[in-house]
Chain A
Amino acid sequence: MMPRVWFVAIIIALLFAAGASLLLPFEGLPRLIASDPSLATTIAIEIRLPRTALALFYGAMLGGAGAAIQALFANPLASPDITGASGGAALGAVVTGYLFGFAGPFGLATGGVIGALLALVLLLSLAGSHAETATLLLAGIAISAVTSALTTLSLALAPSPFAFYDAYDWLMGSLVDRSRNQALFAIAPILLSLILLRRDARALDTLALGEEAAASMGYDLRTLQRRVIVTVAVGIGASVAICGAVGFIGLVAPVFARRLTRGHPGRAIGPAALIGALLLTTADLLVRAAPEGRILPIGVVTAMLGAPFFLWLVARMRWDIRS
């Protein structure tokens, strides 16, 4: 596991971020508690709590799934968004909700899980389980391009005239105005998914020895592969169906997490989930700093923070290869 001091530091930072997410701006809610406690309670429980909880859990899911996918593909550049899983989930949810008319959270989540699963299975069959970085990225880019085009097309063709305006939410993510019920349909699958992924941490660590060595030690790689992909699809599919696709956290969090686990890719799943939760909650705080009346998609914030990091990662890999 990761060093205790880091663990404590991350938990404290998480508590601060979650607290700020619940209470900011400070002059608002505390004053309301004094004047109208029941309204304040309603706002806190019905509006603030789902948003904070979604930021924490969706962030954790992105981080944990990113670490698991990177371990599975033996590639530090894999992540739910880059592999097309998030895009597939968004497409699945949009088709289910807007074209088939199952717009309740259960319908959306189911569509999201199926979409994510199809995208990951497609990626695996295109790129193979131990893909070169270039193959993996190209296959992921192709899947993401197709899913984002089809998502936009589905929204344009949807019977509702306002559907097209939702495109931003699906492609860039949003945690705003989710109900407690909606949040539960994301959080329950996320918890299930993260618990199951943690159980495969040891097998994924062993996979770091190479597929042959892991197989010779009795690990059934095909079963492991299927289990991780289905588990990731459940968590990512449901959370994208509720919050839309958010990029880069699934890429960034595992890289930091592995620094805390001395490079072990499997046991980085837990720390990556904590770091992902911290990153998304912090990104959501930045979103709220947008000028009054303007809505900043959360995916824009994570992309603006994450994309330079991605470039740095690519540059460092190139440098590693040349040196």
Chain B
Amino acid sequence: MIRLSATGIALPGRLGPTDIALRAGELTLLVGPNGAGKTTLLRGMARIGAARGACRIDGFDVGTLGPANRARHLGYLPASRDMDWPLTARDLIALGQIDPSKEAIAAMLERVGAGAFGDRRVDRLSTGERARILLARALINAPSALLLDEPVANLDPLWQLRVLDIVKAEARRGAAVLATVHDLDLARAHAARILVIAGGRIVADGPPETALSDRILAETFGIARSGDGWVIA
């Protein structure tokens, strides 16, 4: 079932007109070189900023949904981990929550391994700890679609895997999930579907074996496989 359908997402100079459909229960990872347009695409799908186009989640036009409804349908994790105000982790998650529930926040804190620092100020947490709190904020309403900009950035190896598990669990619950990652091995191991973006357009879309073929890796990233690692192509 198509859960999210974005059409004509475009930003002149950054991203050519792009159509994407995400199915319920599917984890799609978006990869591409720096400046390829990953964040622009995600922001455009979330209808943030100046990008043109339209995005529907469960048939609802994201751009016209008001604050209460939009957060039910869409969870968005921005790439920035900066916080301006000295809020506690618990309060930060509550700010993203539509139906206030302390129990739900406590459970979410446990889920992202933050039970011990729920009452600490987020501006005094490490970047990785803060990243998990911000992810928790995006997940707290159990939205039907998740657009996550680098959910595993800044995380240690264990938490990269745990966050991918969390994201996969979200997909199993029925959400459509699109997340950007830089680690191609991680992408290959965990995604059912991979989108490769380069120069502001999608150049490959499919299961890891085809989307991350040697030709595409060389053309878009300029790298090639060598044994267990990577070399410059």
Which residues of A pack against B, CB within 8 Å? 74-75, 203, 205-206, 208-210, 212-213, 215-219, 258, 262-265
Contact = CB atoms under 8 A, between A and B. Distances in A.
A174 B87 CA distance: 37
B85 A264 contact: yes
Interface string B45-80: 010110000000000000001111111001010101
A210 B82 contact: yes
B154 interface: no
A215 B86 contact: no
Given A209-B96, A263-B86, A264-B87, A215 B48 contact: yes
Given A213-B137, A216-B76, A218-B66, A208 B87 contact: yes
B29 to A, nearest CB: 19
Contacts of A210: 78, 80, 82-84
A259 B137 CA distance: 23
Contact of B91 (A74, A75, A218, A262): A262
A208 B85 contact: yes
Contacts of A205: 95
A294 B225 CA distance: 84
Nearest to A213: B78
Given A74-B84, A264-B85, 15 more contacts: A206-B96, A208-B85, A208-B95, A210-B83, A212-B76, A213-B76, A213-B134, A213-B137, A215-B49, A216-B46, A217-B67, A217-B76, A218-B66, A258-B86, A262-B91
Given A206-B95, A209-B137, A262-B91, A216 B48 contact: yes
Q: Which 6 A-B pairs have the closest CB atoms?
A: A216-B76, A218-B70, A212-B78, A218-B67, A74-B84, A263-B86
Contacts of A209: 92, 95-96, 137
Given A205-B95, A208-B95, A216-B48, A75 B87 contact: no
Contacts of A215: 46, 48-49
A314 B203 CA distance: 49
B88 interface: yes
21 contacts: A74-B85, A206-B95, A206-B96, A208-B92, A210-B80, A210-B82, A212-B48, A213-B76, A213-B134, A213-B138, A216-B46, A216-B74, A216-B147, A217-B67, A217-B71, A218-B67, A219-B67, A258-B86, A262-B88, A263-B87, A263-B121
A114 B91 CA distance: 38
Interface of B: 43, 46, 48-49, 65-71, 74, 76, 78, 80, 82-88, 91-92, 95-96, 121, 134, 137-138, 147
B153 to A, nearest CB: 15
A74 B86 CA distance: 11
B26 to A, nearest CB: 20
A262 B134 CA distance: 18
A219 B66 CA distance: 7
A233 B137 CA distance: 34
A245 B121 CA distance: 35
Most B CB contacts (10 A, CB to CB) among A203, A218, A258 go to: A218
B69 A218 contact: yes
B23 to A, nearest CB: 21
Given A205-B95, A209-B95, A262 B87 contact: yes
Nearest to B123: A320
A209 to B, nearest CB: 6
A265 B67 CA distance: 19
A218 B67 CA distance: 4
Contact of A208 (B46, B48, B68, B84): B84
B114 to A, nearest CB: 16
Most B CB contacts (10 A, CB to CB) among A75, A258, A264 go to: A264
B151 to A, nearest CB: 14
A209 B80 CA distance: 10
A114 to B, nearest CB: 30
Contacts of A263: 85-88, 91, 121
B87 A218 contact: no
Nearest to A215: B48
A187 B86 CA distance: 33
Given A210-B82, A263-B87, A217 B48 contact: no
A208 B85 CA distance: 6
Most B CB contacts (10 A, CB to CB) among A74, A213, A215 go to: A213
Contacts of B92: 208-209
Most B CB contacts (10 A, CB to CB) among A74, A212, A216 go to: A216
A205 B68 CA distance: 15
Nearest to B77: A213
Contacts of A265: 85
Contacts of A74: 84-85
A313 to B, nearest CB: 13
Contacts of A216: 46, 48, 70, 74, 76, 78, 147
Contact of B70 (A212, A217, A258): A217
